[in-house]
Structures are given as C-alpha cells and as structure tokens.
Structure 1
Amino acid sequence: MSNNLKKIGCNKSVLASIDSGILEQFDLARVVAVHKESYTINNGEIDVLAELVGKLIFNASSPADYPAVGDWVLVNFYDEKTFAIIHEIVSRKSLLKRKTPGKKVEFQLIAANIDVAFIVQSLNENFNLRRLERYLVVVNESNIQPIVLLSKSDLLAPEDITNRINDIQKVMPDLQVIPFSNENESGLDSVRKNMQPGLTYCLLGSSGVGKTTLINNLIGKSIYRTEAVSKKESKGRHVTTHRQLTQLDCGAMVVDTPGMRELGFFSVDTGIEETFSEIMALAEKCRYNDCTHIKEKGCAVLDAVDKGLLSQDRYHNYMKMSKESTYNEMSYLEKRKKDKQFGKHCKTVMNYRKNLR
C-alpha cells in the first residue's frame, strides 16, 4: 500500500476486502465528490474526473449500487490520468443514507466509509433533542461513532450551555458533546483533538448550523461558500449543494453535506435499538413478547412513562420513528416488487415480439 493511498484513508481492512489479483488490472481510488452524471476521484495524488462503466450502470438495481462520497473504487485511468472509468465499488465499511424527501419511496446516499459522524446543532434556535435522536438513529444504524457538536456557543451564557449538554446526557449519557463557536473559535481545539489522521468524518445537521463555516475554520481558509441564517425564519439556506470529501492538514478527512430539513429513513432497527437503549431494556420486562407499547396491560414502557421515569416526548419520538421505519420499509419492498414485475413483463413482451419476426 502506497503512502499516497494511506493519506486518503486506505488501510489494511480496505485492502483485505479486495482480491489481490484485481489490483493487477485496476487502480484503487476514492470518490471525493458526486456530480449529476460523473464523479471526482482521488488516488492520493490528484483529483480526476470519472464516469461509470456501462456494466455497472446496467446492473444497478438501487441507489446503493452507485458510488457515494467516501467510496473506494476500482478504476482505469486514461489520457495521462486526466480521466478515469469506475469499474467496481469496493465493499463498504459503513453507508449513511436517508429516505428521499417527500412521498417518494426511495433513498439517497449521504456518504460511505465514515468512521465518525459529527452531528451539528446550534445552541439557540436549532437545538432540538427529538431531531438529534433522528440523526443518532441513522448514524447508529451504520455503526458509526456519533459526536455532537453544539455551535454558536458565543450566543449563550456558560450555565445555559451546561444545561443544554445536561439535557442531552440525561437521555444519552455516553454521548460525547462539544460546544464550539465559529465566531470566536472557542471549542475548535476540542473538535480538532477528536480528529485523527487516516479517519473519515462526516458533518450532519440542518442548514445554517455552521457546518460549512466549521470546515473552513478547520482548513484555515474560506474554501467553501457560506450564507447567514434568515433572521425572519431562523432557517439556513442550502449553501452546500453536493457532498465533498476534504483532506485536512492533520491527515483527517471530512465530508460536508447539504443541510437536511427532512431526515426520513427505513429499515433502521439496529439504529433505533441503540439510540433508545433504555426503552429496549424496558420492553424486555413487558408482560407480552409482542407488546406494541400502545395500550397493553403490563407494558413496562407505558408504566415508565406514567411514573415519569421515561419522558413522554422521548417515548412518542421512539414510537413515531419505529412506525415510520416499518411503513417506509414495507412501501419500499412493495415498490421493488412492482418494479421487478414490470421488468419481467417488458422482457416477456420483447421476447414475444422477437418470436413473431
């Protein structure tokens, strides 16, 4: 393994997932940006524009079959390494994804092979425990270490910041929380200390919480465009329009993502269980194994809510996300089934016409 590949996060586990014979035919590179119909890849030396080989496109049956930012890919370079063709996606360590906004029953890829997810919320208008729980479900589902960054610490008194952190750790005691400010740069050293060479980090959060400004501060110069939050609506605008992997001087890599006002998901049982571990522990004490935690007698979860041991807001958020995950998963599987049936129908029609000739 070359030092150039090490610089962009390649390690023994990545190489172990690749047949050594394949590396005699292809070069290894990493996807650093995804565009509408092309990709930017990096081999540890330069960024190169790349496209997918036709076979990869033809065999794709879902968004997960396409490269995401952070993916390792097997490529062939052409024209003195000014252009490349992507032939295969290397097995992923982790994959962050979300349901597409609105009523579409499909999902979007956020990033792949992420080691740590920085979930960013601002300490003033954007702070929301229920929204934080949604991000944690997605991150925990992908087996990624979550760290919460609370931005705009310059706008609150120290005691108010402490209260916010306590609110989080009351329900998630093991979660690391770091307050910081992009304005006076307090707390930025704590963020930097949590970034290790060779690891890949991802910034998640709503628009306007300071993700892009944070990256600019970590880099040390304003590479990415930022925009102020609307005072009228207290909402940020989507300044980051695509995902991009950036290497920092410390050797860590970070992905900035567009702000997400809607974070839907499906098939996140593991993420829900890890995020709401205390509810899972209570559920084991329910009288019935198939307890829905809605109205059954002997439900330990409802009993904890009634006694004030479990907050109603956290309980309702758990129930809401569980139902949402189940509904979206069923809808997605039904959609895939219909797509397959339609594909078979088209093939039957084409074969019939062919036999008539």
Structure 2
Amino acid sequence: MTLEELGYNDTFEQLRKENHLEDFEIGRVIAEHKERYIVKSEKGEFEAEITGNLIFSAKSREDFPAVGDWVALVNYGSDLAIIHSVLPRLSTLSRQAVGKFAERQIIATNIDFALLVQAVDRDFNINRLERYLTICYSSKVGPIIVLTKTDLIEPQKLKEIIENIKLRIKDIPIFAISNETKDGYASIKGLIKKGKTYCLLGSSGVGKSTLMNNLSGKNMMKTDTISKSTNKGRHVTSHRELTVIENGGILIDNPGMREIGVVDSADGLETAFDRISSFSQKCKFTDCTHTSELGCAVIEAVERGEIDRKSYDNFLKIEKEKDHFDLTVAEKRKKEKSFGKMVKNFKNDIQKISTKHNDVHRK
C-alpha cells in the first residue's frame, strides 16, 4: 500500500521537509493501545513505540501520537518500529478528557470529514448533534450527519426528524440509512472519496461499527446483537482504529462517547450556532452574554421565534462549559508555573548551600 492510499499528500511531504525528516521512514498511526501503536507504512504494519526523547519533550498527552497521525520512524527490520517524531497535524478532533482536570482527549487527527452518526429509533438528540458540530468547526473538519436504523421507524417519522434537524442546523449533508436493509447505502458510498479520511462519531450502539463493516465489505469491527430489553446495540469497539476500505476511502471508528465536553475555540461555537452569532452582532453591548442584558438582539430574536429556544439553551450550556474548561486550564497553568518557580528556587538554594559549604571546606 502506498502512502497516498493512506491519505499522504504534498502538504504532508512539505511538512516533512520543513521539519528535516527526509531521512526517516513515514507511516500513519492506524491504532493505539496505551503507549504502543500500530503504524502502517509502504513496508507494511508494525508495532511501534515512541522514543524517550519524545516522551521527555512532551508537554501533555496531546503531544503523543494519536490515530490518524503521520509519524517519522525507524524500522528495525522486524515487527517493531520506533517513532521519532509526529508531523504537524492539519486537523485535530478533541474533547474534554472524561474525569481529568483541564485536559483534552484527542479523538483522531488529520481528518477531512466527520460522520456524525445517530440512531433514529432511540435516544435521538439534536443538542448532541450541535455539540459534535461545534467540535468539528473548531477543528476545521467537515461535518456530515448520518441517521441510522431507519428500518425501525415509519417513513413519516423519519421525515419529521430530518425536517427538525434542518430547522436548527443549516447546510449540512444528511444521509438516512439502514444497516439491515442497506437503504441509503448507495448515496453514502458515493460520498466516501479515495484518499480522504472520515471519522465516525456517535454514542454507543448507534451502528457505527456495523456501518464500518458494511462500507468495507469485511467484518472489521466486532458488533453484538440488539438488546431486547433496551433496544440498544451492544457496542464493543474498545479503541480507535483506521481502516482503508475497498473504494479507497479511509475510515476511523471510535468507541461510543456518552460525554462530549467541548474544548472549543470561539470560531467553532459561532459557526455551529451561526444564527445566534449573526444576531449577536446587533446586541447593544459588545460583551453581551445573551443571558439577561437589555438590548440583547439574541434574546429578542428568541422571544420573536426567530431563533429556536432549544438551540439557544443548548448554546448557553455549551458556552458555559467551554468557559469553565478555559478557566480550569488557566488555573492549571498557573499552578504549574508556580510549582516550576518553586522547584527552580529550591535548586538555586541547594546550589548556594553547596557552594558555601565548599568554600568553608577549602578554608
């Protein structure tokens, strides 16, 4: 398999040259298992580890390789390779790390499009779609909505769901499919382009792995049967994995995500909620929070029905979470800076005591 078939292009080659990595072999991370990786290059697939220098120089977990990364490596002619460097990323899908203070979790990197997968028969939630949109726009990744399990509801109900989506979310492609009957598959297969990378995002049991298997024509991902008591698929994907499918498209499946904490740049939130952003330009105060201010054009538009109230409430909730995350990150950096200063002062004090001791000893 060539690097181009894995998604390599002239932009990555330029980054390779700019970072003086011409002497290294180039591969792409296709799976991650804690501190070990599976990397695919033109020579095949290899288990890989990162160098001690890369571990030492990393400022956070984000600096380690992730699925989708292009890496410079040395292949020792066996099944093991050593990763020396990660090429700069063109896009990074990330969320708040669950249960970890002020940390991001990378979902995948160097993604062209994200397939936002939701099942229409249960747990359908437009608020969650808006969260995924915010993550996509923040990462400069093109979103595509995929509605699954359409065989389990009436056509009229499906039509209503699509209409409700379009009322709140504009100009995003929507595909409705059945993993059982294969309805809609012709359209979604036509969407997947050779050499482009697509990341599947969605909760557990919405049919991501079955979609992956059907698109690839192989049983790439394990799936379980539907639970009769909950009507939910038992999703067993435990890690992220990159797969090149038959038509040349590149898919990355993900474990189901119950929590989608947004670690957003302002642009991502504004683009996902572009209608609110548009009305905010007319607010009386430039620092308007759109919560209680007099002269807030956003609140007035909500009251007139020009902005969907549920979308407005979701916007405020996500913005509050984002602001809280930004604050905790700032607090963490402040603590790290303070701790670093304390360590530096301690070392200086030890050095002074040692110098003084040596001076006394020489006398």
Same fold (TM over 0.5): yes
Residues 208 and 228 in structure 1, CA contact (< 8 A), matched pair in contact too: no
Residue 62 of structure 1: how far off its partner (Å): 1.5
Q: 2:257 matched to 1:253? A: no
Question: 1:337 and 1:199, CA in 2 relative to 1: closer, same or farther beyond 3 A?
Answer: same
Structure 2 counterpart SS, 1:340: helix
Aligned to 1:29: 27
Aligned to 1:334: 331
Identity across the alignment (%): 42
Any residues of structure 2 matched to 1:275-290 within 5 Å, and which? 275-290=272-287
The more displaced of 223-232 and 345-354 is 345-354
Question: 1:166 and 1:298, CA in 2 relative to 1: closer, same or farther beyond 3 A?
Answer: same
Aligned to 1:85: 82
Any residues of structure 2 matched to 1:247-326 within 5 Å, and which? 247-326=244-323
CA distance in 1, matches of 2:60, 2:312: 33
Per the normalisation by structure 2, the TM-score is 0.93
User: Among 49, 52, 61, which residue is 1:51 paired with?
Assistant: 49
Residues 92 and 112 in structure 1, CA contact (< 8 A), matched pair in contact too: yes
* 1:107-145 Cα deviation digits (max 9, x unpaired): 111000000100000011121110110111001110111
Residues 266 and 326 in structure 1, CA contact (< 8 A), matched pair in contact too: no
CA distance in 1, matches of 2:204, 2:326: 27
Aligned to 1:16: 14
CA distance in 1, matches of 2:340, 2:229: 49
Residue 100 of structure 1: how far off its partner (Å): 1.2
Question: 1:158 and 1:44, CA in 2 relative to 1: closer, same or farther beyond 3 A?
Answer: farther
Residue 342 of structure 1: how far off its partner (Å): 2.0
CA distance in 1, matches of 2:346, 2:234: 48
CA distance in 2, matches of 1:324, 1:42: 37
* 1:51-86 Cα deviation digits (max 9, x unpaired): 1111110011122211110001111111x1421111
Residues 74 and 89 in structure 1, CA contact (< 8 A), matched pair in contact too: yes
Per the normalisation by structure 1, the TM-score is 0.94
CA distance in 1, matches of 2:230, 2:345: 54
CA distance in 2, matches of 1:238, 1:222: 14
Residue 165 of structure 1: how far off its partner (Å): 0.9
User: Among 96, 104, 107, which residue is 2:104 paired with?
Assistant: 107
CA distance in 1, matches of 2:31, 2:265: 26
CA distance in 1, matches of 2:98, 2:232: 17
Residue 199 of structure 1: how far off its partner (Å): 0.4
CA distance in 2, matches of 1:259, 1:48: 26
Residue 235 of structure 1: how far off its partner (Å): 4.9
CA distance in 1, matches of 2:68, 2:144: 19
CA distance in 2, matches of 1:230, 1:330: 41
Residue 290 of structure 1: how far off its partner (Å): 1.4
Larger Rg: 2
User: Among 81, 94, 99, which residue is 1:97 paired with?
Assistant: 94
Residue 341 of structure 1: how far off its partner (Å): 2.5
**Letter of the 2:131 counterpart:** R
Residue 254 of structure 1: how far off its partner (Å): 0.5
Aligned to 2:145: 148
CA distance in 1, matches of 2:100, 2:194: 40
Question: 1:339 and 1:43, CA in 2 relative to 1: closer, same or farther beyond 3 A?
Answer: same
Aligned to 1:199: 196
CA distance in 2, matches of 1:244, 1:265: 22
Q: 2:55 matched to 1:62? A: no
CA distance in 2, matches of 1:165, 1:113: 29
Q: 2:104 matched to 1:133? A: no
User: Among 70, 73, 76, which residue is 1:72 paired with?
Assistant: 70
Structure 1: which 5+ runs fail to align?
A: none
**Letter of the 1:34 counterpart:** E
* 1:296-315 Cα deviation digits (max 9, x unpaired): 11111111111111121111
Residues 51 and 84 in structure 1, CA contact (< 8 A), matched pair in contact too: yes
**Letter of the 2:11 counterpart:** S
The more displaced of 338-347 and 180-189 is 338-347
CA distance in 1, matches of 2:348, 2:53: 22
**Letter of the 1:97 counterpart:** S
CA distance in 1, matches of 2:234, 2:259: 14
Alpha-carbon RMSD across the aligned residues, in angstroms, is 1.8
Aligned residues: 354
CA distance in 2, matches of 1:223, 1:284: 48
The more displaced of 40-49 and 177-186 is 40-49
CA distance in 2, matches of 1:289, 1:241: 45
CA distance in 2, matches of 1:167, 1:71: 36
**Letter of the 1:41 counterpart:** V
